[in-house]
Amino acid sequence: MALRDGDLHATGRLSTRQTSRWHATSLGWELHSGHPSHITPEQWRGGQMEWTSGALTIIDGQFIDIRVPRFAVHAIWPEAKTAPAAPGDYTTPYLDLLHRAIAECRITEAHQEKKDVLVMWFRQQEVEGEPLSENLANAMATLVRLPASQRGGAKRASNW
């Protein structure tokens, strides 16, 4: 609404040249400008926003790479700060395996298993029916350990 009302200004790379090839769904646009152009409120109101491709198609052209200045968004909506994404339900088999390694090898801040032991454990595991490569097992063994434990070397016992 802010873009259609002119309260918020955006730019995009404009093309006014239609492709010579007909596509199954619609006629496309080619040779978009390398420089951003201002998108007017009239173009927003008369155009069709294609959210999946991020393109605004107007009667005589198409805008891509649409940008809105961050300071303008924050001026209109101060609470619209960009926050880090909250962890959701998404995971991967590799992340599940990392969590399983931590649990099964009883890794804690106080107990950091040796990397060689972890590499052997990871090499015995499978992800989607495939064994882990040596490189992946090494990387995963590194990731489940604290950075201080990755430096190597034995810790000296104090004689004082």
pLDDT for 79:
67
Residue 27's pLDDT band (cuts 50, 70, 90) = low
Domain assignment present for 115: yes
The number of folded domains in the chain is: 2
Domain assignment present for 37: yes
43 and 15 within one domain: yes
pLDDT for 53:
82
65 and 7 within one domain: yes
Domain assignment present for 43: yes
User: What range does the domain containing 145 cover?
Assistant: 93-150
Residue 115's pLDDT band (cuts 50, 70, 90) = very high
116 and 71 within one domain: no
101 and 52 within one domain: no
Domain assignment present for 61: yes
145 and 97 within one domain: yes
> What does each C-alpha distance from 95 to 42, 108, 144 come to in angstroms?
48, 17, 10
Higher pLDDT, 139 or 149: 139
Beta carbons within 8 Å of 45's beta carbon, 6+ residues apart? 4
pLDDT for 151:
74
Domain assignment present for 121: yes
Q: In the listed set 76, 105, 125, which residue is the last one of a domain according to the structure?
A: 76
105 and 68 within one domain: no
71 and 23 within one domain: yes
142 and 108 within one domain: yes
Q: What are 52-87's pLDDT values in tens digits?
A: 888 899 988 999 888 888 777 777 777 655 556 666
Q: Is the pLDDT of residue 89 over 80?
A: no
